Structure 1
Amino acid sequence: MPVEDAALIALGERLGAQAWPGFLILLVALTAAAGLAAWGFEHLRRRHAAQPEPGAGLLFGGLAIGAASVVALAWLFAEVAEGLGDGRPMGLLDETISRAVGAHTPPVVREAFSWLTHMADPIVAVLVCAGVAVALWLRGHRGFAAGWVAAIAGNGVLNHVLKLIFERARPVHDFGFAQVSGYSFPSGHSSGSMVLYGMLGYLGLRMLPPRWRVPSVMAATAVVVTVACSRIFVRAHFPSDVLAGLCSGGAWLAICIASIEYARHHRGTRP
């Protein structure tokens, strides 16, 4: 066995063996970071309470983030695609991590993840999308309703197209916690949770009473992290599938939010 392959296998086994405590650390760190960012956004908005519409700086900042995310996504997918497949570096690391996670994760934890992973099932996304869209429409927020539906539906189309491009097979496992079919790369649950709950967090920042805005963003972040990691723990996806799903969903989320903010700014400054 080549030295490089042996090093990748050793790394994958270490990462897989520590996946469960690593998830807890990642969950706490990212949730806290999201809460801090939301608090900073709220503090900035209170200082500019006389300007309800976002200014040009926020507008172009959002567009720049969206553009940078798309560029990073294209680069990441190109890099990952080169390493996928049997015997290739990323494929070998993926398979090793997946096997190690299956061997070292306590059964009760894996079973809990098998329930939590359904929070981003397609039927859940459709029901939440329809319910939130109707609520926004009835409350007169028709622009937000249109943006919300476009975000959820657009991500579904994007993920389906990417799966057809890469046509990667799913991990093989010997337990029945996750019955899945179709292609593996990128993870639809990961991208779907990023857009679905990320948009809910954004709407929470815009519409909820002040005391609920930061908690809503923290809750949305916790759900995204949990659902994405659950796909690895139930071995429905390889780690690179999940990373790619989060990247594609994050890029689409950034573009959608930037587009909504642009529309709000344009409408607010129109004579």
Structure 2
Amino acid sequence: MNSLFKQLSFTLFLSLLCAVGFGWIAMQIGDSRIDLFDSTWISIIQGTHSPVLTYIMRIFSYIGAGIPATVLALLVAYMLYRRYGYRRELIFFLGVLLTSWLLNESLKLAFQRTRPTINRIAEATGYSFPSGHSMAAFTFYGILAFLIWKHLPSKWGRIVLLLFSAGMIVSIGLSRIYLGVHYPSDVIGGFLASGCLITISIWYFQTYMVRRTQEQLV
């Protein structure tokens, strides 16, 4: 029980840390003090331009949202419920995805940051901060890793899971900068906003499951 309490406390601490990080970036954007950081990293990332890399980045950007992301989410939902019977996990999974989308839309409306206008390789509409693709990717693969983790007995299986999830998150985020539709601070802000959401969600879910277990033992 002490070990579980420490894990829950650490998860809550991570959520607060992500919230502070997001708030700091948001203040920097408001004061335009992050322009040098953004322009420097845009130059570095877009400096790797090549036809092959552009094709790869378009693929990552495409699967990061819209129909592909929806299909993946529905597939995971089907597996959780029909294959494994994890009703609570299904509700948790879909609830966090929906909350992430609502949070992103709300934050975009609150900050109303315009998208980059130079070196645009792809087209995108709407406000820029925080990146919706980055939030969606971090939320989807972060929650997916959390749900699968406890069912993988192998250490190497868990390592592969973490590497895959991290690789997809970073690749989708980088693709948005490479294609010129987001600033680096948009992507980082999206990661932090999603990190805050999923860690507080995991904390709540774990606390709920512990309480349910205790009630069943009484």
TM-score normalized by structure 2?
Answer: 0.87
Kindly state the Cα deviation for residue 110 of structure 1 after the two structures are TM-superposed. Answer: 2.3
CA deviation profile, 1:74-113 (whole Å, cap 9, x unmatched): 2332233222xxxxx4235424543564455233222321
Using CA pairs under 8 Å that are at least 6 residues apart, name the structure with larger relative contact order, 1 or 2.
2
Kindly state the Cα deviation for residue 193 of structure 1 after the two structures are TM-superposed. Answer: 0.5
% identical aligned pairs: 26
Are 1:193 and 1:223, in contact at CA under 8 Å, matched by a contact in 2? yes
Mark the runs of 5 or more structure 1 residues left unpaired by the alignment: 1-50, 84-88
CA deviation profile, 1:28-61 (whole Å, cap 9, x unmatched): xxxxxxxxxxxxxxxxxxxxxxx8xx72221222
CA deviation profile, 1:167-223 (whole Å, cap 9, x unmatched): 111112456x42211111111111111011111111120224535332112101111
Q: CA-atom RMSD, angstroms?
A: 2.3
Are 1:205 and 1:214, in contact at CA under 8 Å, matched by a contact in 2? no
1:207 counterpart SS class: coil
Q: Point out the structure with max Rg over C-alpha.
A: 1
2:117 counterpart SS class: coil
CA distance in 1, matches of 2:112, 2:36: 17
Are 1:173 and 1:235, in contact at CA under 8 Å, matched by a contact in 2? yes
Are 2:116 and 2:180, in contact at CA under 8 Å, matched by a contact in 1? yes
Kindly state the Cα deviation for residue 158 of structure 1 after the two structures are TM-superposed. Answer: 0.5
Is 2:40 aligned against 1:91?
no
123, 136, 142: which is aligned to 2:87?
142
Mark the runs of 5 or more structure 2 residues left unpaired by the alignment: none
Q: In the TM superposition, what are the counterparts of 1:14-25 in structure 2 within 5 Å?
A: none
2:100 is matched with 155
Q: In the TM superposition, what are the counterparts of 1:72-83 in structure 2 within 5 Å?
A: 72-83=21-32
Q: In the TM superposition, what are the counterparts of 1:122-133 in structure 2 within 5 Å?
A: 122-133=66-77
Are 2:25 and 2:185, in contact at CA under 8 Å, matched by a contact in 1? no
41, 54, 61: which is aligned to 1:117?
61
